[in-house]
Structure 1
Amino acid sequence: MRVVLAGTGSAVGKTTIATGIMKALSGRGVQPFKVGPDYIDPSYHTMATGNTSRNLDSFFMSDGQIREAFIRAMEISGARMGVIEGVRGLYEGISPVNDVGSTASVAKALNAPVVLIINSRSLVKSAAAIVLGFRALDPEVRIKGVILNQVKNRRHYLKTKRAVEELADTPVIGGIPRDEELAVEQRHLGLVPAVERESIASFIEKWGLAMEEYIDLDALEDIMSSAGRIHGGRERLWKKENSKRVRIGVAFDEAFNFYYRENLEALEDNSASIIHFSPLHDEELPDADALYIGGGYPEVFAGALESNIPMRKSIMKFHGDGRPIFGECGGLMYLMASINDHEMCRVFPYPSEMTPRVQGLSYVISEAIEDNIITEAGDVFRGHEFHYSRALVDKNARFAFRVLRGKGIMDSMDGVTSGSALASYIHIHAASCPQFAANLTRNAWEL
């Protein structure tokens, strides 16, 4: 059983509705998924269901890998239903004419029915035209239901429902009224991560109750039951090559929590034990063979990170001992000399600073130009980057990656290195860089 909850565009209420549905159905067994490169929405899904939300992305993954990631997650959780929140509009991807990176591509790879979410404010008959257009653009995408958001009142809902069902021959399974109390705090990368706010649980509870009241969940379950078989083969997500036991210290707290679950599982599959530590709250590193410092919001917690001098000294000693350190985006900034003049770890002797929005989310293709702790020279891999900051490196900086698509740190270069430390703006997914875990764990016991 599975369904894709897709929007006609951004800001139609997908995350509120999808998370609310996941919460409302959680007692029936839900495995959540998110289309596209996103860490924050999945944190809400995970809180709503108790099962770790997974990402599905046709830029990172082949169709076979999408099927493998979906089926694998369903088997791990033992859930009955796979509920997949889309990204942006149903058909939006990296190209105006093909499917790569779109919600539609994931729906087709999984042979999953789609429920289309429409912001129906001020719409009645026009809502039917929207549904007809979305259905006609790609007949392989099976739009089996519609949810109307931002309805004014019961009368508005019933009129719009009739228009869509009679003129577009598509059932409307619910209508969500306008309600400012369903809104939640946001910042520059989207919603505030669930790990940061205890109040998020209360919002998710409200969303779940609203979906129970305003959506026909039995009809939604019937749509999921109509999915049929998943056609096509499955492909391996990552390499499994290291058998030597290692310990990987993974930074995880309010400042650093952007990790794909598969990245950690790929490390575990290569004989790693994952040990979480907090750059905010712990005074020293755990006993580890390598460090992985992912993304997050270090700029928001820069003062507290600066104040934790024992942790910063512990990381510098770890680096001085020649142990591998891998940092992504926020981790890159923490490993720099400073963030907005707040002292950081100085693994790399360059300042970093927040900037006006220069470039938001972008897909990246990179090539390794030298061997490093996660790739070998000549390896080509994919990822994504956020640019609300910059690392002020100079001509003496040494880079491991040439950016073929994307921005990087400087002049289409990324992956700054110092000894056995590597840090990059590029967020990777284990499926997009299948050698990542095997190489990092191997270097953890070799170096």
Structure 2
Amino acid sequence: MDGIVVAGTHSGAGKTVATLALCRALSDAGYDVRPAKAGPDFIDPSHHAAVTGRPSRTLDPWLEGEEGMRRNYYRGADDAGGARSAAGSAGSPPVCVVEGMMGLYDGDVSTARVAAILDLPVVLVVDAKAGMESVAATALGFRAYAAHAGIDVDVVGIVAQRAHGGRHERGIRDALPEGIEYLGRIPPREDLEIPDRHLGLHMGDEAPLGREALSAAAAHLDAERVRDLARAPPRPEPPEPGSQTGARVAVARDDAFRFLYPATVERLRERAVVETFAPTAGDDLPDCDGVYLSGGYPERHAAALAASPALETIGERAPEGLPVFGECGGLMALAESLEVDGETHGMAGVLPAEVRMCDRFQALDHVELTARRDAPTARAGETLRGHEFHYSAADVGSDARFAFDVARGRGIDGERDGLLEYRTLGTYAHVHAESGAFDRFVESIDSL
């Protein structure tokens, strides 16, 4: 599957809007678009899915390893069907549009590194609000910096963000050096802004860009030339297939539990029977052998969770030995209580912790965990890599048992992560299916 990376000069450069406009432009030109996101993000991919009708793949070598990331890239090529929200032809060869993270070279796990591992060309989004020749100078500097950084990155063109037409557009195009193509512009429009909240942008189904505004932006992009510049990474070896266990895993999916990587649900379905339920909508826990509670926004739905029959049932069945795995928001829901804006709400009461929301983020990093003992997602001594981003803090009981030591990141108390009670595990870390954690979780259920 051919692909291209949309990168920015810095965070806030307009990558998400440019990515969505490019997806729309390619779809309108008849191409089958498969979106992806560099780095551990759940929010931007929701916007990709809203525009393309396809799940957006997470591409992160820290979470997945290089081969795992390549496998996940090609999982996007193998996606069948999908709702078609744009005019792209399902019969055309797929093209992957990968949205970068932060600035092109920023971070240990950078957009540049993702592009280099996949050998994908880069389209740079440059803010052109108050520049013409300087836009070209910026693009040239980003292209040249690859050699200085020792990363094999191919910046093939730019999209000018907040650029007008006419003289402004011509000045940018004419100033670009050979080897960096002008691929279009995103006009300065107020209706091309996505509102945000404490964990980032609003989700794609909460604040989608208007179809008219997105189509207007797409009309200024050269979809055909972008498609010509795209190229395909080598296909990796397929993973070892896991056996179907027949275990029934209940997976929470609603407004409180929204942060699920597509590959996670797919891997769970490969190894088990998945039953979804919506705790905030009043669903009780379905008949199951294990439960997965993902991250999301439990703080925005604390009252509904406090009244949820599903959390009450989890609170009753967990002491009986029901395996439960909660990540971040899932950890919060499994705790004794959740304090939001000075009001305390009772949660499932399985884990010995009282969680409170804070005014600023408490952790934002890739993490590395070493298992202190056998746990539902890892055996003693094994290492898991993941990601954490949360505004809550947990005050844990003096008798709390932790599953992991933190080699990188913050975890729950700066040194440890993974509260373990009965057969229930709650972590602040999010892990990817390529880590093997979900295979271990299903196998732990099957071993009962």
Q: TM-score, normalised by structure 2?
A: 0.91
Which residue of 178, 184, 187 corresponds with 2:194? 184
- Equivalent residue letter for 2:274: I
Query: Is the CA contact (8 Å cut-off) linking 2:124 and 2:155 kept in structure 1?
Result: yes
1:106 has 2:114 as partner: yes
Secondary structure of the structure 2 residue equivalent to 1:92: coil
Aligned length: 426
The answer as to whether partners of 2:191 and 2:210 remain within 8 angstroms in 1 is no
Contact persistence 2:363–2:410 (CA under 8 A): no
In the alignment, is residue 135 of structure 1 matched against residue 143 of structure 2? yes
Give the counterpart letter for 1:319 in structure 2.
A
Deviations 1:114-159 (A, max 9, x none): 1110011211211121111111122521111110001245322221
Matched with 1:401 is 404
**Paired residue for 2:95, among 75, 81, 92?**
81
**8 Å Cα contact 1:151-1:178 kept in structure 2:** yes
Match of 1:125 among 133, 150, 156: 133
3-state SS in 2 of match to 1:348: coil
How far apart are residue 220 of structure 1 and its match? 1.4
The change in CA–CA distance for 1:283 and 1:68 in structure 2 (over 3 A counts) is closer
After TM superposition, give the deviation of residue 168 of structure 1 in Å: 5.5
Describe the SS at the equivalent of 1:274. Answer: strand
Q: 1:327 to 1:426 in 2, by over 3 A?
A: same
Amino acid at match of 1:317: E
Alpha-carbon distance, 1:358 to partner = 4.1
What is the CA-CA distance between 1:71 and the residue it aligns to? 1.9
Hey, what does 2:24 align to over in structure 1? Answer: 23
Contact 1:365 1:404 (8 Å CA) reproduced = yes
Partner of 2:85 in structure 1?
Answer: none
Contact 2:125 2:158 in 1 (8 A): yes
Partner of 1:418: 421
Equivalent position of 2:290 in the other structure? 290
Aligned partners of 1:30 and 1:82 also within 8 Å: yes
Match of 1:174 among 150, 162, 184: 184
Distance 2:244 2:123 in 1: 44
Classify the secondary structure of the residue corresponding to 2:279: coil
Shift of 1:345: 1.0
Q: How does 1:145-224 map to 2 (within 5 A)?
A: 145-164=157-176, 167=177, 169-195=179-205, 197=206, 200=208, 203=209, 205-224=211-230
Alpha-carbon spacing, 1:204–1:84, altered in 2? closer, same or farther (3 Å)? farther
Match of 1:97 in 2: none
CA 207–110 in structure 1, closer or farther in 2 if over 3 Å, else same: farther
Q: Give 1:413 deviation, angstroms.
A: 0.4
1:440 corresponds to which residue? 441
State whether structure 2 residue 57 is matched by structure 1 residue 54: yes
Stretches of structure 2 that go unaligned for 5 or more consecutive residues are: 81-89
**Which structure 1 residue ranges, 4+ long, deviate > 6 Å from structure 2?**
none
Give 1:308-327 correspondences, 5 Å limit: 308=308, 310-327=309-326
Cα distance in structure 1, aligned partners of 2:364 and 2:441: 26
Question: For the structure 1 residues 206 and 397, does the alpha-carbon distance in structure 2 shift closer, same or farther, using more than 3 Å as the test?
Answer: farther
Paired with 1:401 and 1:207, the residues of 2 have a C-alpha distance of 47
Match of 1:247 in 2: 248
**In structure 1, what is the Cα distance between the partners aligned to 2:269 and 2:34?**
21
Q: Is 1:334 paired with 2:338?
A: no
SS in 2 for 1:300: helix
C-alpha deviation, 1:269, in angstroms: 2.3
User: By how many angstroms is 1:207 displaced?
Assistant: 4.8
Aligned mates of 2:307, 2:438 — CA distance in 1: 32
Question: How far apart, CA to CA, are the structure 2 residues paired with 1:342 and 1:216?
Answer: 52
Q: Percent identity?
A: 37
- Asked whether the 8 Å contact 2:64–2:432 carries over to 1, the reply is no
Query: 1-side partners of 2:414 and 2:188: how far apart?
Result: 46
Offset from partner CA, 1:324-346 (integer Å, 9 cap, x none): 00000011001111111111111
User: What SS does the aligned partner of 1:409 have?
Assistant: coil
- How far apart are 1:162 and its partner, in Å? 1.4
- The one-character-per-residue Cα deviations of 1:231-272 (angstroms, maximum 9, x if unpaired) are 4x72566x65444211110000011110111112222222x1
After superposition, where does 1:248-397 map in structure 2 within 5 Å?
248-270=249-271, 272-308=272-308, 310-340=309-339, 341-397=344-400
Aligned residue for 1:98?
none
Secondary structure (helix, strand or coil) at the match of 2:281 reads: coil
Deviation larger for 274-283 or 32-41: 274-283
The TM-score, its normalising length taken from structure 1, stands at 0.91
* Gap change, CA 1:410 and 1:28, over 3 Å in 2: same
Whether the 8 Å contact between 1:35 and 1:84 is mirrored in structure 2 is yes
AA of the residue aligned to 1:90: L
Do 2:302 and 2:338's aligned partners in 1 also have CA atoms closer than 8 Å? yes
Query: Counterparts of 1:6 and 1:396 in 2: how far apart (Å)?
Result: 47
Separation in 2 of the partners of 1:41 and 1:49? 13
Contact 1:363 1:406 in 2 (8 A): yes
SS of match in other structure, 2:368: strand
3-state SS, counterpart of residue 33 of structure 1: strand
| 1:376 Cα deviation from its structure 2 partner | 0.4
Query: Distance between the aligned counterparts of 2:142 and 2:283, measured in 1?
Result: 54
Contact 1:9 1:89 in 2 (8 A): yes
Q: Is the alpha carbon distance of 1:402 and 1:360 closer, same or farther for their aligned partners in structure 2, counting shifts above 3 Å?
A: closer
CA-based RMSD: 1.8
Tell me the SS of whatever aligns to 2:358.
strand
